[in-house]
Amino acid sequence: MALINPHINFNGNAEEAFNFYKSVFGGEFTRIIRLKDLVSSEFPIAEKDTNKIMHIALPIGENVLMGNDVPESMGPVNENENRSKIAVSTESREEADQLFNGLSAGGNIEIPISDSPWESYFGMFRDKFGIEWIIEFDPK
């Protein structure tokens, strides 16, 4: 079965965001590539962007959360135009609470985590980096 691995673009704070996600989910980064690792005459990088993230990967279960910084030369990432959400299915209410409370810290809660009309334990929020999340435990 294929796995879906979310990939998030950031405005220069990918490393900060991924350190935050790592503090909530645990685990270790499997890969960090900085823009300076790719600099060449064919791929010039502005000096101010050389330490930014080209690719970062954090395994979460069997999936991998990936991300990168978008250099200013490519234009800003507009967080208000983020039209997707990362949905996390948990194995327990306790895990759902832990992830919801950890990831939503400093962000904006849209739907507090609680029992839903469709009989799951569900919550939704935008984290402090502008990324939208759904956390759900379905006891069925």
- pLDDT tens digits, one per residue of 20-44: 999 999 999 998 999 988 877 877 8
- pLDDT tens profile 94-116: 999 999 999 999 999 999 999 98
CATH of the domain at 116: 3.30.720.110
- Stretch 74-83: mean pLDDT: 65
Q: Is pLDDT at 120 greater than 70 in this prediction?
A: yes
Please indicate, yes or no, whether residues 43 and 66 belong to a single structural domain of this protein: yes
Structural domains in the chain (count): 2
Reading phi first (left if > 0) and then psi (alpha if -120 to 50, else beta), residue 48 is in: alpha
Token reading at 137: 């435990």
Range of the domain at 9: 1-72
- Stretch 47-73: mean pLDDT: 91
Please indicate, yes or no, whether residues 53 and 16 belong to a single structural domain of this protein: yes
Please indicate, yes or no, whether residues 62 and 90 belong to a single structural domain of this protein: no
Q: Is the dihedral of CA 139, 122, 14, 17 positive or negative?
A: negative
Q: CA–CA separation, 18 vs 103, rounded Å?
A: 11
Q: Half-sphere exposure of 58 toward its Cβ, with a 13 Å CA cutoff?
A: 21
Record the pTM.
Answer: 0.80
Q: CA–CA separation, 49 vs 62, rounded Å?
A: 32
Q: CA–CA separation, 47 vs 139, rounded Å?
A: 51
Phi, psi for residue 134 in degrees, rounded to 5: -125, 130
Please indicate, yes or no, whether residues 88 and 125 belong to a single structural domain of this protein: yes
